[in-house]
A and B are shown apart, each in its own frame.
Chain A
């Protein structure tokens, strides 16, 4: 079975500051890793995904994440955030054999002017 831990339920940050949203996972099998963003009352939008290959993955809106197998982490980063980045961010893992997504509890990123 897989599990995902997002330790930070909320991350407040000022505009133009860098941000890192943490994600750790556990799994006994190979997985795919994802970050999704959810704006209020909307569905989920894929930010980026790690399937294989390069451990540094670049996504939309200037976000990137690094897969660290030894630390079982997939932290999301952005060097300079905007007010419009305020949203809920979900880390997820997918069992490659079933394609089921297991989500973390989410991190609320709040960007202040």
Chain B
């Protein structure tokens, strides 16, 4: 199976600070990365899609300047929440798409962000 890691698993930060979340595909290469956000007791909402070496494409309503996505390599993507506020508190999940395989997505274990 495909192994995906996210770091940190939990983070608590003060309002106004920035937080970086790393997502790694440990045993496969991922040309495409999806980032999702999940509110408590809610479904996953796609935030953005990034391809390695290219700028991310953001879904409608997602602020690209607030949620910075970097996909610099085929095994690592980062999501940086800039100037975080309490309303950004959520569960963030990455989903790398294995290069050459388009009918299955794998998911990271998620990062719980709490902004005080």
Contact = CB atoms under 8 A, between A and B. Distances in A.
Interface of A: 32, 36, 41-46, 49, 51, 90, 94, 99-106
- Secondary structure at the A interface, as helix, strand, loop or mixed, is strand
A104 B112 contact: no
Contacts, number: 48
Nearest to B106: A46
Nearest to B2: A46
Nearest to B97: A99
A47 to B, nearest CB: 12
23 contacts: A43-B93, A43-B107, A45-B107, A46-B104, A46-B106, A49-B104, A51-B103, A90-B43, A94-B103, A94-B105, A99-B32, A99-B97, A99-B102, A99-B105, A100-B46, A101-B95, A101-B105, A102-B46, A103-B43, A105-B42, A105-B43, A106-B41, A106-B43
A36 B36 CA distance: 14
Interface string B81-116: 000000000000101010000111111111010000
B4 interface: yes
A91 to B, nearest CB: 10
A103 B109 contact: no
A101 B34 contact: yes
Interface in B11-41: 32, 34, 41
Given A44-B107, A106-B42, 8 more contacts: A42-B110, A43-B4, A43-B108, A46-B106, A51-B103, A94-B105, A101-B34, A106-B41
